[in-house]
A and B are shown apart, each in its own frame.
Chain A
Amino acid sequence: MSDAIEKVSIIISKGSLEGIYPGLIMANGARAEGIEANLFFTFFGLDAIHKKRMEHIKVATVGNPGMHMATLVGGLPGMSAIATHMMNKKMEDFDIPSIPEFMELISDTGAGMYACLASVDLFGMTESDFIDELDGIITVGDFYEIAAGGQILFT
């Protein structure tokens, strides 16, 4: 068991539903296996921990081949909202928590949650924009220190 993974740090950089959920599922799954886990939110990934935006995360219907629809169709008004609604409905059926509930759960598992300082500054956000579960706004250097000795996943 010497090659067992003992620690993961997961970087979430996208603000779409399909960009955020995989990272959350990986982090929660790691903790369920007793693996230490940290989440680092950077760039548009900050929306996942933004109090007002986290409830309005959408599926990308343009430039997303996984949607299996023509780009023109995906770009029609309301298309992203419809796809998001359908996806949320499906996830509810499979008992996957909403993003706000998921964040609370992950925080309760003892995983660390950090926002990228450079991105926070870039978007003109402040600590008060983020959920209380956030463990801090840190530099990339700080993140690498926290991630030291473990695996880093970029989603």
Chain B
Amino acid sequence: MATVTIAGHTIDRNDEGFFEDPDQWNQEVATEVAKEEGIEELTPKHWQVIEFMRKEYFEKGTGPTVRMLGKTSGVTVKELYQLFPKGPAKVAAKVAGIPKPRGCI
């Protein structure tokens, strides 16, 4: 675990860069984390996915997989890969400040 300062906020992150405490998250921090992941600008579609992931995490205790995102977030799997080319569930979870989603499908 490492404590880092992102956009002036103190964030605890694990070795892979996922947040230890989702409550340390805010939109400014998300924008910076997205840049680290190669996403220069978060569009309204990105935010739709990010907010959906946080909602799911707080309701269910884990972030959704790509398949579930495609079925329930209102953003198709194709679009998800355009928004987050390096793996939608994983990268979106990182930007959304929630732990890495588990699951093989």
Contact = CB atoms under 8 A, between A and B. Distances in A.
A32 B88 CA distance: 7
Interface of B: 65-67, 70, 76-78, 81, 85-91, 104-105
Interface size bucket, A side?
Answer: 10 to 19
Given A25-B105, A108-B81, A109-B81, A34 B91 contact: yes
A29 to B, nearest CB: 6
A97 B67 contact: yes
18 contacts: A25-B104, A29-B104, A32-B87, A32-B88, A33-B87, A34-B86, A95-B67, A95-B105, A96-B105, A105-B66, A105-B77, A108-B76, A108-B77, A109-B66, A109-B77, A109-B81, A110-B78, A110-B81
A108 B87 contact: no
Contacts of B67: 95, 97, 105
Interface of A: 25, 28-29, 31-34, 95-97, 105, 108-110
B104 A34 contact: no
A33 B90 contact: yes
A37 to B, nearest CB: 11
Contacts of B91: 34
Question: Which of B76, B77, B85 has the most C-beta atoms of chain A within 10 angstroms of its own C-beta?
Answer: B77
A105 B65 contact: no
Contacts of A109: 66, 77, 81
Contact of A32 (B65, B76, B78): B65
Contacts of A108: 70, 76-78, 81
A112 to B, nearest CB: 13
A30 to B, nearest CB: 9
Contact of B70 (A33, A34, A96, A105): A105
Nearest to A95: B105
Given A25-B104, A108-B77, A34 B90 contact: yes
Given A34-B91, A108-B81, A109-B77, A97 B105 contact: yes
Contacts of A105: 66-67, 70, 77
